[in-house]
Amino acid sequence: MGYSDQRFDVNLSILFTELPLLERPAAAAAAGFTAVELWWPWIETPTPSQTELDALKKALDDAGTQLVGLNFYAGRLPGPDRGALSVPGEESDRFRANIEVAADFAASVGCKALNALYGNRVEGAEPQVQDALALENLVLAARAADRIGAILLIETLNKPESPYYPLVSAPSAIEVVDKVNAATGLGNAKFLLDVYHLSMNGEDVGQVIEAYAGRTGHVQIADNPGRGAPGTGSLPLEELLGQLSKAGYDGWVGLEYKAGDRPSAESFDWLPSEARAAR
C-alpha cells in the first residue's frame, strides 16, 4: 500500500505556475500525469468569456489531461481571500454568478468534483449571518453540481495561514457537509481532506482518516513543514495514503504542494514515473 496504489492528479494552480495557464496541462502530461485539478483560474472574474473557457478546454483536451477537480470562484487566491460564498454583498453575488458557469465548464470537460471555499469572517458581519448566507449559496452550488453528476467539496484550511477562515478542523467542515446534505437531500456534499492543512492545525491526520474516510470526496497532499513535495518535510504521507486506501477511499489525490526553487517538472522525483498516469 502507498503511492503505487493511488490515483494522483496535479494541481495546476500551484504547480507549473512558471508557465502560462494554457501551457500547464501539456507540461503535466510531459511529466507523466494524465489528471489535473485547478483553483478557479480567472481570479478577476467569476464569468470569463466563452472564448477563454473554450481555450482552457482545448488545452486540457490537446494534452490528454482529465480535469478531476475545479474550485468555484473564490476571490483572490492565492492571496488575502479564502473563498467568497459567505462574504455578504459583492463577493457573494460574484460566487452566485459563477455557480452555473463553473458547473457548465466542469460538465464540458467531464469534471466530477467542484470545491467551494467557504470564505473568511469579515468585519461588520455577524458570524451567524455569514453562516446562513453560506448555507444558501452552498445549497445552490450542490444543486448545480448534482445537475452535472458531480460532488460538492467542503474544505478545511489551517488557522496559522488562514486566521479568518472559520473551517479550521475536520469536524467543522463535516458539520457544514451535513447541513448542506440535510438542506438539499442530495447527499452529494463531501469532505475535502487536505493532509497539509489538517497537519498545520495540529490534528491527528490518522484519526481524521479513520473517522471521515467514508465522507471524503477528494484528498490533497503536501508535506509539512513548508508545504513542499512529499519527502521534504516530516509527514508520513505514503503511510497516510495507505491508511486511506484501507479505509475504502479510492478517489483522487491532488498534488497541491510548492515546488520550491526547482522547476515543477523536477519536483516529482518522489513518485515513480509509472505511478503518475491515472489508472
From the candidates 37, 91, 203, 256, give the one annotated as an active-site residue: 256
- Answer yes or no: 155 catalytic: yes
Euclidean distance between CA atoms 159 and 169, whole angstroms = 9
* Three-class secondary structure assignment of 5-53: HCEEEEECCCCCCCCCHHHHHHHHHHCCCCEEEECCCCCCCCCCCHHHH
| Rounded CA separation 172/179 (Å) | 11
Pick the catalytic residue from 37, 91, 155, 203.
155
For residue 202, the tally of other CB atoms under 10 A from its CB is: 10
Identify the residue whose cell numbers are 448534482: 146
Please list the active-site residues: 155, 256
